[in-house]
Amino acid sequence: SEQLFMEMAEVMATEGWRDAGYEFVCIDDCWMAPTRDRQGRLQADPKRVPSGIRRVAQVHSKGLKLGIYSDVGNKTCAGFPGSYNHYDLDAQTFSSWGVDLLKFDGCNSDTLELLAEGYRHMSLALNKTGRSIVYSCEWPLYLRPMQQPNYTEIKQYCNHWRNFHDVYDSWSSIKTILGWTALHQDTIVKIAGPGGWNDPDMASIFVFLSQLVIGNFGLSWDQAVTQMAMWAVMAAPLFMSNDLRHISPDAKWLLQNKEVIAINQDPLGKQGYQITKDMNFELWERPLSGQAYAVAVLNQQEIGGPRNFTFSLTLLGNGLACNPACSVRQVLPASRDWGFYSWVSSLSVEVNPTGTVLLKV
């Protein structure tokens, strides 16, 4: 309902979320009326959004931006009117309402050719409006069962694109996304950069645009730390799917952690990748600006107690990250300086089951 979104916007503005960098309030599927108006335009559901989307766009007065949802096909995934054959009109409508982000789903498109043409057409239509609107695509997700996505083309048209299934509030979901990303990193890591990002998932607003399910009920604390750390390493867009009106202080601390967000938003814009996997440990790195690296040590083991993982610093940055020496700072699960190390040193990191230690080198 519009009341829910306005309440969430108020919390974002007054409780530090906007200042931490969370700018967008995003509306997902089911906001529409079942039919278009007499001029063929999309219209808001009169019960859910009685004042209209333009009224919800008043979140701008709080220094926030508005995201909205539509679909490339005849109908949205929930069966509401899709944008097929209405791309230009819908782009103009969204612009006139003050929309700043469009999540464009891929349900109910008859062929792969129509799917691709629809994503291209809407990209051009959004640009024609003259309004800056972030374009969030699900193009590769719907292509992949039939053919390998052309990420070079997708980046020409989209600002970020969804690669994987809906993320759920469970460790199994988080683990599966990380496994898929590592398996396909040779294809997807090189295409990410300023203006175009891989999105592990973008199903509904916290549920789940690259979704951080932190602050809900399905993840332990260590698993929540893992999601925040790994989404930062993967340079994923950070969209929360949770109720900010009822969130624990610990979850708020984690989601607003400035050091982690700085890694996620690093201006170099390179996506991280898995370096090695050994004995249920995974070692990931992400090149950062200023010749720094984010390093994540993930313990995939789900039973027992904390375990140590020891690795040589020569593994990082193709051997150059610590040459001839480097400082190491732990960012998660708590921040503390580890001091200076020489190029030939090894680090021993203690990690809880399903947890992650995030370092900045």
Give the span between the Cα atoms of 262 and 321, in whole angstroms: 19
Q: Which three-class secondary structure state does DSSP give residue 251?
A: helix
H or E element: which one contains 55? helix 53-56
pLDDT at 203: 38
Query: What pLDDT is stored for residue 167 in this prediction?
Result: 78
Mean predicted confidence (pLDDT) in 150-165:
93
Cα–Cα distance between 214 and 229 in angstroms, integer? 12
Nearest to 178 by CA among 263, 300, 261: 300
Q: Name the β-bridge partners of 358.
A: 296, 332
Band (204; pLDDT cuts 50, 70, 90)? very low
The whole-number average pLDDT for the span 46-70 is: 97
pLDDT of 346 above 70: yes
205 and 241 in contact (C-beta within 8 Å)?
yes
pLDDT at 209 over 80: no
Dist. CA 40–CA 54, nearest whole Å: 18
Residue 296 neighbours by CB distance under 10 Å: 27
Active site members: 105, 166
Residues in the chain: 361
The pLDDT score that the predictor gives to residue 301 is 95
pLDDT at 188 over 50: yes
Structure-token pair, residue 338: 């580890």
The percentage of residues in the chain with a pLDDT greater than 90, rounded to a whole number, is: 88
Distance CA 124, CA 102 (A): 13
Q: Does the pLDDT value for residue 214 go beyond 80? A: no
For residues 208-214, average pLDDT: 50
| 138 has a pLDDT exceeding 70 | yes
Amino acid type, 318: N
Tokens of 269: 């814009």
Q: Which segment of 74-83, 85-94, 208-217 scores lowest on mean pLDDT?
A: 208-217
Nearest-angstrom CA–CA distance, 309 and 279: 9
Q: Give backbone dihedrals phi and psi of 275, rounded to 5 degrees, phi first.
A: -90, -45
**pLDDT (mean) for 314-324:** 94
Task: Provide the greatest CA pair distance for the chain.
Answer: 71
CA angle in degrees (0–180, nearest 5) for 347-350-352: 150
- In this structure, are residues 94 and 102 in contact, taking their beta carbons and an 8 Å threshold? yes
pLDDT reading at 7 higher than 80: yes
pLDDT at 246 over 70: yes
Dig out the tokens for 39 from the structure: 């001029």
Q: Is the pLDDT of residue 151 over 80?
A: yes
Mean pLDDT for the chain overall: 93
Picking from 88, 91, 70, 89, the residue whose alpha carbon sits closest to that of residue 80 is 70
Residue ranges and CATH numbers for the domains of the chain are: 2-265 (3.20.20.70), 273-360 (2.60.40.1180)
Output the pTM of the full model.
0.93
Residue 165: pLDDT above 90? no
Tens of pLDDT, residues 324-342: 999 999 999 999 999 999 9
At residue 200, the pLDDT reads 85
Q: In terms of pLDDT, which residue wins out, 216 or 285?
A: 285
**What digits encode the pLDDT tens for the residues 256-299?**
999 999 999 999 999 999 999 999 999 999 999 999 999 999 99
